[in-house]
DNA sequence: CTGAAAGCGCTTACAG
DNA sequence: CTGAAAGCGCTTACAG
């Protein structure tokens, strides 16, 4: 193991104290210009690279925010991460991204790991199976701010950044109404997620506003696996009065619907109108596109989540208990 | 700021030394069972969470490997990360993923950052604009092992894990030959990437084996932007004897070709056979699929890269200078 | 089996 | 403007 140059090495060479070198490198105002120059020159020559680990340790801050996402193969989360990164870079923070792979146990482990590593804040989109608040309370106890991102369990005591789920649902439904649809199925997400409830609420509200009676038979819960979506579509298509359109929790589910229709109900495939949450980059490559998507502006959501985390970090020093925030980022329908 | 329980707190309460507590928590063999029990019990009660930052700092290891990828919207890289993660978890290591966003300057900054944070190893897929070895030498100087992943510049002194690029190209070409194609265009990647050269070599080798003269006019360099692919396709389609098939550096380029053909040459769209590197999950949703893809087994590549990094980390202690390795992970053609 | 001591590389009051 | 000292939370030879 080679070991690098340290502040001590520089101090010795220059006949200075380590404190002076440290301050010089950090441009501390009390240090003379000449000293700063000498120190920086040698640091340069010797390719001194500060040990951030040591700095963080000493300062009792990791300058790192942890992000836990269910699955990065879902481009929605990648866009969000890009937003988080942008804000983090501006604040000279690092971002550590982990995937729970929709596994709640694994998620617990990741949170534990983040606490052990003393990240300064956590942004998390929970798994589709997460309902317990236990692990989030542990973050609280450890004094680490956390915000739910996009997906949240029913726990209003935590911060939550999301798209305006209800409004997005309204936009989707109204668009479908305008296209003449009246029998619109809703494939909703896991019911213990606030997010699912909010989108479902929008669905019902849209129907009510339009004066269309709510029909439970048109709603199915899915867990985003193809299997469940297959089952749901099959059941719905067997109805006496089957739906003519689908409003799905997310576009990936909509893509599965399209695929299933193409395979099992080729006659219907072209006619069915489909809208879901998530304007995914991959849609551009599809020939058989969904009719539209709710653009959640996930990059912006990432930005807002990161900003909220930084606010919370700042507020820690003020040590007043802040009220939980629910930030809704506007969304808009995009027609393909 | 709340501060957590430390080893010292536990030691004080139990009238022990911090060394004993530390050893007890780490199951050091020299500590009595009784002591271990007492320590662990209190640690549990008090919700002691070890400060990994401190441990890493003390041990002069971050137990972290850094991964730099061009862009996580490309699912190929996400699959690779999953492979890296799997190996890392087994070794009790963390993985820190950063994106260069195909920006070479930014890449330099990320490497710098990883050195500052003293990661134990780096896996990197370079940007499409990277050609300079400078920054990689800095990692060397800092004593941090690095392996090029998938994409590499021409610098055989570094480790490199990649699919068997030449063989993949041969498979693609032979498949197209079997389909009856003789005029096969190649959209190749940036020429200063070893990867591009290797795939191009396979292309030429396949032609030679088949006794088909190599025609420079059928080759175009692209930088993966749609614009360049559009230009290339337009030029190729204007040839007196235009290609009947495309072998592309990667499937995303192939998808762009399909899109362009659909828009500009609808008559040709269905007939053109297209094969590229990368069996992407999103292909399942396409109706208008490429004919096939070279499955690079990116998860496995991630696994191999991580294993190589861990080998290198272990070898550091032995401090003999190891020879650079070029690991080729087998690939196979997948027909859609 | 347990503990005292040194130290990882820095930063930051504090004194001069 | 500079420096001596303490210390962040741990681990690890070493002594007993």
pLDDT of residue B288: 85
Best CA proximity match to A95, nearest among B173, B222, B110, B196: B110
What is the Cα–Cα distance from B316 to A205, expressed in whole angstroms? 64
Checking if the pLDDT of A95 tops 90, the result is yes
Strand partners, A122: A66, A146
Confidence of residue A154 (pLDDT cuts 50, 70, 90): confident
A211-232 tens-digit pLDDT: 999 999 999 999 999 999 999 9
CATH number of the domain encompassing residue B86: 3.40.50.2300
Q: Flag whether B258 is in a domain.
A: yes
Q: Is residue B56 part of a domain?
A: no
pLDDT digits (tens, 9 = 90+) for B191-202: 999 999 999 999
Task: Classify residue A55: in a domain, yes or no.
Answer: no
Summarize the confidence of residues A192-213 as an average pLDDT.
96
A158 and A178 both lie in a single domain: no
pLDDT of residue A1: 38
Q: Using the CA of A33, which nucleotide's C1' is the nearest one?
A: D1
Do the Cβ atoms of B96 and B66 come closer than 8 Å? yes
A57 CB contact with strand D at below 7 Å: yes
**Helix residue ranges, H only, A103-193:** 104-116, 134-141, 165-178
Which residues of A spanning 11-70 put their CB closer than 7 angstroms to strand C?
18-19, 22-23, 25-26, 48, 50-51, 54-55, 57-59
- Is the pLDDT at B232 greater than 80? The verdict is yes
Please report whether residue A1 resides in a domain. no
Does A38 share its domain with A90?
Answer: no
Task: Give the mean pLDDT of chain B.
Answer: 94
B1 part of a folded domain: no
Same domain, B211 and B91: no
Question: Quick check: B286 and A285 CB within 8 A?
Answer: yes
Question: Of the candidates A164, A117, A113, A108, which has an alpha carbon nearest to the alpha carbon of residue A137?
Answer: A108
Looking at the structure, do residues B169 and B291 belong to the same domain, yes or no? yes
Nearest to A220 by CA among A202, A196, A240: A196
Q: How many domains does chain B have?
A: 3
pLDDT exceeds 50 at position B1: no
Q: Is residue A303 part of a domain?
A: yes
Q: Note whether B149 and B123 are within 8 A (CB).
A: yes
| Angstrom distance, A7 CA to C14 C1' | 21
CA distance A222 to B90: 33
Residues sharing a CB contact under 8 Å with residue A15, sequence separation 6 or more, in sequence order: none
pLDDT tens digits, residue range B289-300? 899 999 999 999
Claim to verify: residue A146 and residue A206 sit in the same structural domain? no
Tens digits of residue pLDDT in B110-154: 999 999 999 999 999 999 999 999 999 999 999 999 999 999 988
Over residues A36-54, the pLDDT tens digits come to 999 999 999 999 999 999 9
Task: State yes or no: pLDDT of A171 exceeds 90.
Answer: yes
In a domain, B159, yes or no: yes
pLDDT in tens, B94-119: 999 999 999 999 999 999 999 999 99
**B70 and B159: one domain?**
yes
Assess whether B176 and B239 both reside in one domain.
Answer: yes
A 80-109, residues with C-beta < 7 Å of strand C: none
Q: Do residues A280 and A322 both lie within one domain?
A: no
Instruction: Record the pTM.
Output: 0.91
What is the average per-residue pLDDT within A253-273?
A: 90
Three-state SS for B304? helix
Are residues B189 and B257 both part of a single domain? yes
pLDDT at B66 over 60: yes
* Pair B285, B170 in one domain: yes
Tell me how far apart the alpha carbons of residues A53 and A64 are, in angstroms, rounded to a whole number: 11
DSSP codes, A182-249: --EEEEE--TTBHHHHHHHHHHHHHHHHHTPPP-GGGEEE--S-HHHHHHHHHHHHTSSS--SEEEES
Chain B 41-70, CB < 7 Å to strand D: 48, 50-51, 54-55, 57-59
The Cβ of residue A7 has, within 10 Å, a number of other Cβ atoms equal to 22
Nucleotide C6 C1' to residue A173 CA (A): 69
Helical H runs in chain B?
7-14, 18-25, 33-45, 52-59, 75-90, 104-116, 134-141, 165-178, 194-210, 226-237, 251-264, 266-269, 298-318
Task: Say yes or no for a CB contact (<8 Å) between B287 and A288.
Answer: yes
Same structural domain, A74 and A127: yes
Asked whether residue A27 falls in the same domain as residue A143, the answer is no
- Note the pLDDT of residue B139: 94
B123 lies in a domain?
yes
Q: Which nucleotide is nearest to B20 (CA to C1')?
A: C2
Higher-scoring residue by pLDDT: B327, B1: B327
pLDDT at B220 over 50: yes
Beta carbon pairs, A and B, within 8 Å: 110
pLDDT at B68: 98
Closest Cβ opposite residue A97 in set B97, B115, B118: B97
- pLDDT above 90 covers a percentage of chain A that reads 90
The predicted model gives B302-331 an average pLDDT of 90
Query: For B259-273, what is the mean pLDDT?
Result: 88
> Span A128-143, mean pLDDT?
93
| Domain around A18 | 7-50
Task: Report the chain A residue with the minimal C-alpha distance to residue B253.
Answer: A285
């Amino acid at each position: 193991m080679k070991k690098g140059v340290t502040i001590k090495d520089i101090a010795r060479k220059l006949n200075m104290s380590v404190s002076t070198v440290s301050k010089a490198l950090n441009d501390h105002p009390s240090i003379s210009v000449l000293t700063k120059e000498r120190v920086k020159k040698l640091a340069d020559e010797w390719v001194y690279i500060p040990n951030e680990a040591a700095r963080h340790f000493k300062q009792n801050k990791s300058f790192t925010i942890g992000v836990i996402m269910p699955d990065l193969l879902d481009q929605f989360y990648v866009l969000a991460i890009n937003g988080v990164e942008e804000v983090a870079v501006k604040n000279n923070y690092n971002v550590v991204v982990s995937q729970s792979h929709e596994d709640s146990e694994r998620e617990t482990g990741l949170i534990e790991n983040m606490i052990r590593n003393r990240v300064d804040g956590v942004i998390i989109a929970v798994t589709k199976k997460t309902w317990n608040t236990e692990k989030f309370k542990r973050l609280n106890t450890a004094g680490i701010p956390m915000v739910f991102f996009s997906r949240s369990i029913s726990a209003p005591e935590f911060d939550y950044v999301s798209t305006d789920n209800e409004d997005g649902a309204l936009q989707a439904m109204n668009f479908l109404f305008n296209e003449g649809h009246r029998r619109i199925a809703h494939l909703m997400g896991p019911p213990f997620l606030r997010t699912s409830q909010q989108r479902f609420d929008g669905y019902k509200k849209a129907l009510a506003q339009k004066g269309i009676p709510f029909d439970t038979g048109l709603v199915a819960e899915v867990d985003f696996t193809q299997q469940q979506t297959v089952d749901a579509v099959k059941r719905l298509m067997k109805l006496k009065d089957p739906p003519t359109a689908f409003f799905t929790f997310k576009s990936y589910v909509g893509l599965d619907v399209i695929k299933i229709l193409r395979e099992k109900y080729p006659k219907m495939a072209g006619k069915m109108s489909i809208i879901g949450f998530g304007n995914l980059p991959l849609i551009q490559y599809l020939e058989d596109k969904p009719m539209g998507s709710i653009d959640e502006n996930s990059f912006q959501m990432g930005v807002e989540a990161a900003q909220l985390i930084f606010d919370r970090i700042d507020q820690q020093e003020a040590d007043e208990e802040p009220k939980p925030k629910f930030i809704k980022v506007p969304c808009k329908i995009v027609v393909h």
